[in-house]
Amino acid sequence: MQEVVRQISEKLVKKGHEVTVATSKCKFIRPNKINGVTIKEFSIHGNWVNGIFGDIDQYKNFLLSENFDIITCFAAQQWATDIILQILKEIKGKKVFVPTGFSALYDPKYSDYFEKMKIWLHEFDQVVFLSNSYRDINFARSIDLHNIIIIPNGASEIEFTCPKNNKIRSKYHIPENSFLILHVGSHTGLKGHKEAISIFSHANIKNAVFVLVGNKVRGGCTLQCALRSLLFNFNPLHRIRNKRIYNLHLSREEIVDLFHAADLFLFPSNVECSPIVLFESMASKTPFLTTDVGNSAEIIDWCDGGILLPTFFNKKGYSFADIKKSAILLKEIWENSEKREKLKENGYTAWKKHFTWEEIANQYEKLYQNILNSNYSSLSGDNE
């Protein structure tokens, strides 16, 4: 959500609006204004269920004393939203909520939280969903919520218009003639890294490189991924087939360059709402394979730029790729250059027309203007 908030905020500022982002205090010193967006930091952590700790009263006073026209909450189950939920009726300005998935909806620990959510949702002036078919919007429909609008995620036209470094392969010693498969996702343990490595291992392909890019996350899968990659690369069978895994931590600019250099994006994630990386695949003309996670199936319907991996679900609603069937699918797309070409052109065309951040920001601006004008007729219910 950090990228979504950054993109929308900066573009709204360029359109002449004043935007303040309230967020967690960084470990490093951060300016109080970035690209025109005012940053207000608070030493707070936690959420409603696990407990919220820090300068809670300072945050409440900030929300109640500042004369904001609109306050938008991005993502549930985190302190910045969960504190607001306690004082919704006291807030003067219009209130907008972007739940971003309700990832803990099926977790028994959160049962009371989501019982209260049935009341809280009705207290917002507008609720924005990223998808027409995910658990959060289905929850809203189940409680007969009508103040609903769908605004999808996107990818940056500035970042993805062209690669900054056409030599990114050579920089990391990735052979130019190898089939480059990319995965981008932090080492949370839920981005499907283990499954992606297994799919690549089982796929009967050769002369292929799998690049796994992710930030370290405390308590995540960083060490496990490093060990799996090491064992993979020492396997004689993989050496014979000229298959190799690269486990990298890269700058944002290098990640974008790798998107452009990749032949395929492999994303067997376990839990998402609306994966931005799929839009970034489209923007970089990279076909993708993804689990049926979040609204990935809906994204494919929108763009026809990727293919769903065979997927099953556990009791918490998490998605898991069928490794053997997914490996067969990976081989099929590896062999079919004509299919890959069609997917990448479809995806890019759809992104350029509907899913740039400029277009997404326009939709948020229109939403906010309509809310301030109390014009809900075109935004609720029938907009689904």
Q: Is residue 373 within a helix (H) or strand (E), and if so which, with residue range?
A: none
Domains observed in the chain: 2-154+357-372 (3.40.50.2000), 157-354 (3.40.50.2000)
Predicted confidence pLDDT, tens digits, the chain (384 residues): 888 999 999 999 999 999 999 999 988 888 999 999 999 999 999 999 999 999 999 999 999 999 999 999 999 999 999 999 999 999 989 999 999 999 899 999 999 999 999 999 999 999 999 999 899 999 999 999 999 999 999 999 999 987 677 889 999 999 999 999 999 999 999 999 999 999 999 999 999 999 999 999 989 999 999 999 999 999 999 999 999 999 999 999 999 999 999 999 999 999 999 999 999 999 999 999 999 999 999 999 999 999 999 999 998 889 999 999 999 999 999 999 999 999 999 999 999 999 999 999 999 999 999 999 975 443 444 444
Residues 6+ apart with CB under 8 A from 254: 165, 168, 171
* 222 within 8 A of 186, measured Cβ to Cβ: no
Backbone angles phi, psi at 18, to 5 degrees: -95, 125
CA distance 209 to 277: 19
CA distance 183 to 87: 40
pTM above 0.75, yes or no: yes
pLDDT of residue 377: 42
Q: Is 88 helix (H, G, I), strand (E, B) or coil?
A: helix
